[in-house]
Structure 1
């Protein structure tokens, strides 16, 4: 990561007592100010309430509670969690649960931080989910380059095994660290002995996944929320957020803010308030990147918008992976976008035309625009090429790149005109703001 990388911090602990409306998954962190051991976890939350989970069918009390709570996936897609639980329990045979802790989004640190400070909350959620859907094995997938994270979670699993907390087997896996390796079918494909690349459908993973068994894949944060719902109930969960989009969300805030941090905020929190919780802007802002590298740029005038899918949808945006990057006016949004698109092109699965041909072409055109090397036909060519990416790939990777490119052309329209007329701008010489890793293609997917 470069100098713009987000530190693993939750900012300053909240003063006063624990407020369940604003701190839930991070309540233990705020209470003790350090990563929770198993003893800390049991003292704060007590043991996981497995009595509400055992069933292995769609009518499990826990599945019903999750449905009533309105929990949606926190990995980016926002799919209703109960629908995924019911889909896998509708299949015959012993099921498998996969915990997606890959977090390959470079601008996100939420899952890493959650596992660092509250590993047993994630593992509680995994064990409860496995019991609810009738899974006898839990596979926890982490990127292999985060050695310290793997060791920490392995130690937490060992502590739970010695305490005989979990009725199912937990297995940790270290996967190749690449952008598309965190896609759910990539995890299933790798666990079946293949490359960590997206697989085609059908059959879907919930029908035939790991070892050809019905497989449920859930993000780490989603499982931690599920563990809280199992303890405190759906009515408690709905005390935060909105009736349509309840609960809290972990958000990684970075860029031109005083305290880059992972924050837990209720859904419906205005974007400006989230930036204020990260210490506020250090410079005048022109835009924010919302959702991550496959997300959208929003002009600064939209910072009053609430963090909900409903409010962001008219702007062509969504909470996505819970990423918020503040871009100062002194930076070049076109150059920042070009760097991201070059990275996404290098880290594509290269299994279909949009990834092999479309993404590199769009990245090259955008780089030419950002660096003042545009020809007369570039803008129309770039718009046309970007419009061909969505809904044509073997996975959703090209869709995210197209969304980012389109939002940049709209948000930075004045800069586009200046770059086309006068070449590169002075802002292009500013230090980069987005944490873009090397654009070198991964050495291996195995």
Structure 2
């Protein structure tokens, strides 16, 4: 993983001299951590215009105020959570911080914990699975030892999935439940870890808070722009982390990373939006700057594609991945996400149309238990806009001359078709309706009690239930068709 700094280093200070900044070096670089009460912390965060860096960009001062209000109303204690799960395949910035500059993150979290009276800080990290060594876990353990007594830090490992980083899913996992977004959204500021008011932000947000608190609001604003003081940390191409002042031109970032020849760029991750070459030249790396060109800074992920790959094929790969990463617990994801992925795949052979994609994108938008369908719809629609010429070529010729090279990063094993399919044999089906009971939201019955659709894509989390429905069907009218090898390309 490369680390670059454009301008004055803040979060990346010392990384040119240390592979990992230990506690002694950290204090020499940044100075002591101040003591702040909740009101002082809220004022400071407001002066620094600090917002969450995990994607939603919610004002940090309002988060702290909401937790403080809940604590006072309930006469309870609070909890502080650091979200370091980073479920986005293209994001590596929080991993870099926790591995190489962990004390900035822990400083910010400790500052918040002291202000809110939280007896512990919980840090959620992705489970590295089969890896023999986990650099994030090793770095955090060393950092806690280096800091000695004081705030209690507890590390919780979460499944390395896209939806595991959603706030509700992380809280569910910390509370010992299945780490999926809750069916009924609720505010963590009111009921989070152990049912207590909880302040939850991602690792970079807490690191930015530490820099703001140690240096003060005036010094913090010496970098950045009027609407967004300070720096931003960006994950570029899935393997490079860049710190630069907010408001820096996107073209400067791409040039520094050797990516000036990019044909288009996806900013904000897989819930972000594509930008064309012309938009790339005008875009600035701030919330307002990206909004001016129709984009979003989101989680600070920058993913360029070259002219050597088919951008529609790249988009289809990611939509298949997003459909498989659905938590599979509400209709908008269970039905909408596979429909969106399938509609986009049909574009590649010229069989589908942009209108089909727009219809599929609207199935789950604004209706899900989390923002997964909404963000995926933004991603798909932006591809239709930016790659309109490619759409015409695919429509006329059934494809293009470019292969799908996999320039957008995905976890291992995701370059396969998205879903097995549940098939209904109408000649056997007697309308018992057991399949709908076993697969609520996936199988919908018509007014006569028969499945509405005979060919249904099955999201990954529901594959086991789909197999059970095949075995349990009294009429033996169901079967599962596995994806055909190689059809992903």
What's the TM-score once normalised by structure 1's chain length?
0.88
Equivalent residue number for residue 311 of structure 1: 289
Q: 1:390 deviation in Å? A: 1.8
Does structure 2 conserve the Cα–Cα contact (< 8 Å) formed by 1:178 and 1:442?
no
Is 1:297 matched with 2:279?
A: no
Please tell me whether residue 431 in structure 1 is matched to residue 424 in structure 2.
no
Q: Which residue of 2 aligns with 1:368?
A: 346
Q: How does 1:38-187 map to 2 (within 5 A)?
A: 38-49=23-34, 51=35, 53=36, 55=37, 57=38, 59=39, 61-92=40-71, 93-145=76-128, 147-161=134-148, 164=149, 166=150, 168-187=151-170
1:261 pairs with 2:279: no
Correspondence for 2:358: 383
* Cα contact 2:232–2:246 (8 A) shared by 1: yes
In structure 1, the partner of 2:12 is 26
Q: Of the candidates 249, 253, 263, which is equivalent to residue 274 of structure 1? A: 253
Query: SS at 1:252's partner residue?
Result: strand
For 1:4, the equivalent position in structure 2 comes to none
Q: Secondary structure at the match of 2:228?
A: coil
Of 227, 230, 233, which residue of structure 1 is paired with 2:213? 230
Contact 2:264 2:274 in 1 (8 A): yes
Q: 1:430 to 1:341 in 2, by over 3 A?
A: closer
More displaced 10-residue stretch of structure 1: 224-233 or 145-154: 145-154
- Partner of 1:135, secondary structure, is coil
Q: Which moved more, 1:201-210 or 1:407-416?
A: 201-210
The question of whether the paired residues in 1 share the 8 Å contact of 2:185 and 2:369 is answered with: no
2:305–2:311 Cα contact (<8 Å) kept? yes
**CA distance 1:246–1:190, change in 2 (3 Å):** same
Residue 114 of structure 1 contacts residue 221 of structure 1 at CA under 8 Å; is this kept in 2? yes
Residue 190 in structure 1 maps to residue 166 in structure 2: no
Q: Does 1:395 align with 2:395?
A: no
Larger relative contact order, structure 1 or 2 (CA cutoff 8 Å, min sep 6): 1
SS of aligned partner of 1:90: helix
The change in CA–CA distance for 1:213 and 1:352 in structure 2 (over 3 A counts) is same
Give, in whole Å, the separation in 2 of the partners of 1:248 and 1:279: 21
Taking a change above 3 Å as real, the CA distance of residues 201 and 243 of structure 1, as seen in their structure-2 partners, is farther
| 1:351 is the counterpart of 2:329 | yes
After superposition, the Cα gap between the structure-2 partners of 1:398 and 1:430, relative to the gap in structure 1 and judged at 3 Å, is closer
> What does the per-residue CA deviation read over 1:80-132, in whole Å, with 9 as the maximum and x for residues that have no partner?
11110111011131000010000111011111111121011111111111111
Deviations 1:224-275 (A, max 9, x none): 01111111101111112222122111111128xxxx5210011111110111
TM-score normalized by the length of structure 2: 0.80
2:68/2:116 contact within 8 Å kept: yes
Instruction: From the superposition, tell whether residues 328 and 225 of structure 1 become closer, same or farther in structure 2 (CA, over 3 Å).
Output: same
The match for 2:476 is none
- Structure 1 window deviating more from structure 2 (38-47 vs 339-348): it is 38-47
1:245 aligns with 2:228: yes
> For the structure 1 residues 408 and 218, does the alpha-carbon distance in structure 2 shift closer, same or farther, using more than 3 Å as the test?
same
When residues 329 and 203 of structure 1 are mapped into structure 2, their CA distance, relative to the original with a 3 A threshold, is closer
Distance 1:239 1:401, change over 3 A: same
Q: Deviations over 1:188-227 (max 9, x none)?
A: 1111221111124554110111111101101100000111
8 A Cα contact 1:73 1:79, kept in partner = yes
Answer yes or no: is 1:321 the counterpart of 2:299: yes
* Structure 1: 5+ residue stretches without partners: 1-7, 15-20
Q: Residues 416-442 of structure 1, C-alpha deviation per residue, up to 9 Å, x if partnerless?
A: 111111011111x25221111233747
Q: Point out where structure 2 has 5 or more consecutive residues left out of the alignment.
A: 419-459, 464-489
Structure 1: distance between partners of 2:292 and 2:108: 33
Are 1:89 and 1:134, in contact at CA under 8 Å, matched by a contact in 2?
A: no
- Alpha-carbon RMSD: 1.9
Structure 2 counterpart of 1:5: none
Task: Report the Cα distance in structure 2 between the residues aligned to 1:417 and 1:326, rounded to whole angstroms.
Answer: 22
Rounded to whole Å, the distance in 2 between the matches of 1:105 and 1:216 is 22
Structure 1 residue corresponding to 2:204, chosen from 213, 218, 221: 221
Query: How many residue pairs end up in the alignment?
Result: 409
Equivalent-residue separation in structure 2 for 1:343 and 1:357 (angstroms): 15
Residue 312 of structure 1: how far off its partner (Å): 2.0
Counterpart position of 2:433:
none
Residue aligned with 1:72, SS = coil
**CA 1:68–1:323: 2 relative to 1, 3 Å:** same
